[in-house]
Amino acid sequence: MTDLSAKLWNEAVRPRDYAPEGEKYQNAVLEQYKICVEMADRVSARRNLTNTFFLTVNTAVGAAFVGLAGGAKLTDVSVWVLLVGLVILLGECAAWLLIVRSYRQLNSAKYAVIGAMEERLPAYAYSRAEWTALGEGRDWRRYVPLSHVEQWIPVIFALTYVLVVIALAVS
């Protein structure tokens, strides 16, 4: 966090620049902190919407794929149609996984900045207290970070698609 703190704070602006007695400086830091927390929350909300979108699309497309391919005999469905469908679905799952990863990285950076900003506030509410209370995500019985769970969903869908195509090819 030391490197981040060195890049976060504007050394040209000091509490004394916000006379009297730095109270305005503390208010400015607090306001910037509130904005950073709000922006991190918005990223999380966008991430949830993205997951909902991909889950809906995957469920609909996957159900249609399984319904169309599963209701027909393999001789009625070209292997190429199955493979093209599989490639499209796997590509969509890969995009979903990359987007989930990107959101996780973005939020990690935002929360690192929030933690660095807490150095100038009276409490380390997020960066130390809350994260410590959650066991820093190390004990799954205490807390499983959502980002760890959500990255498995596209993988599960992709594996399901592969197994369905294999099952159709074998039957």
pLDDT tens digits, 121-170: 888 887 888 888 888 878 888 888 888 888 999 999 999 889 888 877 77
Which pLDDT belongs to residue 56?
93
Mean pLDDT of all residues in 15-34 = 80
Please check the confidence at residue 74 and state whether its pLDDT lies above 70. no
Residue type at position 1? M
Q: pTM above the 0.85 mark?
A: no
Q: Taking a C-beta distance cutoff of 8 angstroms, is the pair 103, 12 a contact? A: no
Q: Which residue reads 């900045």 in tokens?
A: 113
**Is residue 69 very low, low, confident or very high in pLDDT (cuts 50, 70, 90)?**
low
Query: Which backbone phi and psi does 23 adopt, to 5 degrees?
Result: -65, -40
Q: What are the angstrom distances between the C-alpha of 129 and each of 26, 66, 106, 145?
A: 21, 47, 21, 16
Which pLDDT belongs to residue 5?
78
Cis peptide before 20 (omega within 30 of 0): yes
Which pLDDT belongs to residue 94?
96
> 3-state secondary structure string, 67-102?
HHHHCCCCCCCCHHHHHHHHHHHHHHHHHHHHHHHH
Q: What are the angstrom distances between the C-alpha of 134 and each of 44, 85, 131, 145?
A: 18, 42, 5, 9
**Is residue 51 very low, low, confident or very high in pLDDT (cuts 50, 70, 90)?**
very high
| Domain extents in the chain | 2-170
Which pLDDT belongs to residue 41?
93
Q: Taking a C-beta distance cutoff of 8 angstroms, is the pair 101, 152 a contact? A: no
